[in-house]
Amino acid sequence: MPLYAAYASNLDARQMARRAPHSPLRHTGWLPGWRLTFGGEQLGWDGSLATVVEDELSQVFVALYDLAEMDEPDLDRWEGMPLGLYRKVRVRVESLFGEQLAWLYVLNDYEGGLPSARYLGMVAESAESAGAPDDYVKELRNRPCS
């Protein structure tokens, strides 16, 4: 079963249970060499959208889900794949169980713009619910927003 690495609001296991009910949370980890950012302000209905970009000095907290084949099309629709908003990228995630190959969604647009305060708060709450370290959640909460 392929691993899906969630990094924004999909860090919330309750949300993922609704979006991909046959795909259990396996554990959490870190995506080294990537940075959480926002982009595509003109694409989102509520400001910029979460994405990740390569950055050798950064890392992103992720939740790894065993994504069931039957859940993948629904998750793709939630993430705007049919609209061309996101594409799938394979990445290496570091966890307590070693390095694991997973995939995630990356925005098909340039970095920039501000997320809404509501969306940023949702991302921070999702990270907190997934067990992200306090300093990671604090950094999310202190980001600029619209």
Q: How confident is the chain (146 residues) per 10-residue block, as mean pLDDT?
A: 94 97 97 97 83 98 97 96 95 96 96 94 98 98 95
Rounded to whole angstroms, the Cα distance separating 16 from 68 reads: 12
Catalytic residue status for 111:
no
Binding residues: 4-9, 119
The CATH number of the domain covering residues in 3-141: 3.10.490.10
Report which residue type is found at 67: L
In terms of Cα–Cα distance, which of 38, 56, 59 is closest to 114? Answer: 38
Rounded to whole angstroms, the Cα distance separating 146 from 89 reads: 28
114 token code pair: 């501000």
Which pLDDT score is estimated for 62? 98
Which pLDDT score is estimated for 1? 72
In terms of Cα–Cα distance, which of 104, 122, 108 is closest to 63? Answer: 104
Rounded to whole angstroms, the Cα distance separating 62 from 9 reads: 10
Binding residues for substrate: 4-9, 119
Rounded to whole angstroms, the Cα distance separating 104 from 29 reads: 13
- How many residues are recorded in the chain? 146
The catalytic residue among 54, 56, 72, 79 is 79
Annotated domain spans of the chain: 3-141
Report which residue type is found at 54: E
Q: What is the pTM of this model?
A: 0.95
| Spatial contact of 101 and 3, defined as CB atoms under 8 Å apart | yes
